[in-house]
Structure 1
Amino acid sequence: MTARTVAILLGTDLNAQNGARVREAEEGSGGKLQLCYRRWGGSPEGDGVDHQKENRGVTRRRWGGSPEGEGVDHQKEMGWITRRRWGGSPEGEGVDHQKEMGWITRRRRGGSPEGEQRGHQKGGQILRVCTALSCLLGVKIKIHNIRAGRSTPGLRPQHLSGLQMICDLCDGCLEEAKVGSTEIYFTPGKINGGNHVADTKTAGSVSLLMQVSIPCVLFAASPSQLILRGGTNAEMAPQIDYTLQVCKPIMEKFGFHFDCDVKMRGYYPKGGGEVKVKLSPIKWITPIDMTERGTITKIHGRAFVAGVLPIKLANEMSSAAIRCIRKEMRDIYVNIQPLQEPKDKAFGNGNGIIIVAETSTGCILAGSALGKRGVSADRVGLEAAEMLLMNLRHGGCVDQYLQDQIIIFMALAKGVSRVRTGPLTLHTQTAIHFAEMLTKAKFTVNKINDQESGSERCIIECEGIGMTNPSI
């Protein structure tokens, strides 16, 4: 495999009006792939240089012409690509612009350059997707402008612990990585099994640590044990209950199994939770087909309190959620157990709820919520119930929070995977974009509009790259 470095520049505003440019240049014996987010009609975010004049970037271009406002013929002077036959060179130009100027020339048929005028999720998710794929594919990466525009830009402790774990998994080299860093360099090595520890030292999510590490250790040389410390039930991340009851059984449809033991639960703001994951490597990932939702056979869940919070709150969350669901689904028995976490199994105070629906075809969808100061227990229960009902109405086989988590497995699988979902989330669009860019897997998304319900469904199809484990 030819060595290459992938450089990713994260922008501060990646909404739909922004564009992305991808460029590729030869560097010695290897190539360099760089993704640069750019405001539509402007220079790269955070950069005050006029790249049109400096000859380092194109902002807007009339189709087939030079940049607006420029009198220079850049096709001849600088080799900028304007139009390209599918898989060929720019029309009328004999120059190999990939070598001369480094711009990638892959283009959707009849469409704009990849990423152009499309928004992508930024920050933590891109770090997880790209570092995991870097580790698996043996590709060096450089990520710029991390969490730019945030009140606290750069890496947070939970991001850093995930990066350090991946580095440890493969005996890699991680440079410039510290809390607050806005740029990192990662050079992967060979993926090893054995014991690995990651500690956010905060309430950073252990479920997100699992997301980034599990795909990697599937291709290790020997079995792995991961000790993950942080928050088990944290905001802006899957609760550990969701990971166990929804993610785990669906992930295992890809042909692998893992054990996950919750040793201690930890909550915001201190964390203190600990999860132990055991997993054996596999030869390859099996593709999945989840396109038939079937009928709902079971709805169950747990409403919990921990620490000094009274069991009354768990009862109120459970009751409110059950009332909400029964208004819409009268024929299904709903069982949400209120419970108090054992004192020796929970660190700190917290409360929350998860509700899971299972179907006749093996689909699992959920809704969940965590308690917050100033929010009533009833409101927490209603939030989880409404989320579940929303995920059931669209008729998809996975819920909105599982969509993006299965993309990496689809990209690596040996064969074609197909999954029916509701409307694509921004996280899913981002995961697909970077999985395609790094693995060259082929994704297609077919949208289906349901006239009766007015909801949008999608079929995500991917021809995986069939990655195999050389150690097995």
Structure 2
Amino acid sequence: MITIDGSEGEGGGQVLRNACALSLVTGEPFTIEKIRAKRDQPGLMRQHLTSIEAACAIGGAQCEGLELGSNRIVFRPGTLTPGDYRFAVGTAGSTALVLQTVLIPLALADKPSHLVIEGGTHAGMAPSFDFIEKCFLPVLERMGPRVSARIKRHGFFPRGGGRIEIEIEPAPLRRMEFTERGAMQGRSGMIVFSSLGANKIPNRIRKAALKALPEWGEEMIAIRDLPADQGPGIALSLEASYANVTEVVSGFGKLGLSAERIGNTAGKRMAGYEASKAFAGPYLQDQLILPMALAGGGTFTTVKISQHTRTAADIISLFTGRRAHFEEAGDKGHCVRIV
């Protein structure tokens, strides 16, 4: 039984998600104590419950302590069963984070799977649907599995109600080296919003983003008004496409956060990535470590290493024995080697 201190490192829900995924793949049971102890609301929240329930469903697993607010669980994996599944968070909790829990186990299964996940698709503290679809999944596909994603309905904070559909064609993971992003292919952006009246807020977000991106033009960031029943909410997505990778930077609206700050923060983050020569941005880096470890190793260059990534590496090492080595890589930022 692997025992994990959930308060160590980054100390968030990622520890739970990676542990469940790794347990299903390796067959190793685990205990996590002090779950999310560093968070303002420690213990399991709704999206964490849904993620663990999803892992139990696809893996025939048993889990003790599975209730809201719980600070300790014991997870015992069973037999992985690919197929058709539907998971509903019931709040604006992230659909992407539920997917993160079950994707790699199902991508290594012996038959295809179809998933429907309902909840938040564009909300803070989680990858947006756009990031999953355009940044992460194309890179994962180069490693072997084929995964397609469709958004059927947007889900903003705090209402949620979004819906995504995922098709997974499993295949063994190949060891890869992602060190070069390649030549610039194009830039684009999208602001989606619902039930916010006229276009004043989207236009303010676009203006602030462009101020931080002098090489971008106004025509590169489109504005799309969604049906009223999908709101209220607003989200910005910026994409920089290169020959080998597409970086996606997002910004989300919430009460008390100005349109100018949403646009400026996302714009500066994208400008920082474009100024570097690294392959992976800050969010792709912690997504890559898990499949690379299960592929037997791999290498990628990235921007500054996050605590999220270091924590992911620690959890993955417990289950697989694979270790991440972080090295300086000159104008490419940092190099991460999984061995």
What's the TM-score once normalised by structure 1's chain length? 0.68
Q: Alignment partner for residue 377 of structure 1, among 259, 271, 276? A: 259
Alignment of 1:437 with 2:318, yes or no, is yes
Contact 2:180/2:244 (8 A) holds in 1: no
Aligned to 1:197: 86
Deviation per CA, 1:128-157, whole angstroms, max 9, x where unpaired? 111110111001111111122544321001
Whichever residue aligns with residue 6 of structure 2, its letter is: L
Aligned to 2:232: 349
Structure 1 residues 150 and 374, CA, compared in 2 at 3 Å: closer, same or farther?
closer
Aligned to 1:297: 185
Alignment of 1:458 with 2:334, yes or no, is yes
CA distance in 1 between partners of 2:218 and 2:260 (Å) = 20
CA distance in 2 between partners of 1:227 and 1:408 (Å) = 23
Contact 2:109/2:170 (8 A) holds in 1: yes
The offset of 1:257, in angstroms, is 1.3
Aligned to 2:294: 412
Aligned to 2:274: 392
Aligned to 2:3: 7
CA distance in 2 between partners of 1:214 and 1:349 (Å) = 29
Aligned to 1:322: 210
Contact 1:305/1:311 (8 A) holds in 2: no
* Percent pairwise identity: 29
Alignment of 1:259 with 2:148, yes or no, is yes
CA distance in 2 between partners of 1:426 and 1:149 (Å) = 13
Aligned-pair RMSD on alpha carbons? 1.9
Aligned to 1:24: none
The offset of 1:261, in angstroms, is 1.7
Contact 1:285/1:412 (8 A) holds in 2: yes
Aligned to 1:313: 201
Whichever residue aligns with residue 224 of structure 2, its letter is: L
CA distance in 1 between partners of 2:197 and 2:293 (Å) = 43
Structure 1 residues 405 and 334, CA, compared in 2 at 3 Å: closer, same or farther?
farther
The offset of 1:295, in angstroms, is 3.4
Aligned to 1:362: 244
Whichever residue aligns with residue 129 of structure 1, its letter is: N
Contact 1:365/1:392 (8 A) holds in 2: no
**Higher Cα radius of gyration:** 1
Structure with higher helix content: 2
CA distance in 1 between partners of 2:253 and 2:39 (Å) = 25
Aligned to 1:171: 60
CA distance in 1 between partners of 2:313 and 2:197 (Å) = 41
CA distance in 2 between partners of 1:10 and 1:461 (Å) = 25
Contact 2:239/2:249 (8 A) holds in 1: yes
Structure 1 residues 426 and 285, CA, compared in 2 at 3 Å: closer, same or farther?
same
Aligned to 2:176: 288
Aligned ranges 1:107-256 → 2 under 5 Å: 120-256=9-145
Q: Which has the higher contact order (CA 8 A, sep 6+)?
A: 2
CA distance in 1 between partners of 2:95 and 2:223 (Å) = 23
CA distance in 2 between partners of 1:309 and 1:146 (Å) = 41
**SS state at 2:316 partner:** helix
Contact 2:146/2:170 (8 A) holds in 1: no
| Deviation >6 Å, runs of 4+ | none
**SS state at 1:433 partner:** helix
Contact 2:107/2:169 (8 A) holds in 1: yes
Any stretches of 5+ residues in structure 2 without a counterpart?
Answer: none
The offset of 1:232, in angstroms, is 0.7
Contact 2:212/2:268 (8 A) holds in 1: yes
Aligned length: 339
CA distance in 2 between partners of 1:310 and 1:192 (Å) = 48
CA distance in 2 between partners of 1:292 and 1:124 (Å) = 30
The offset of 1:262, in angstroms, is 1.1
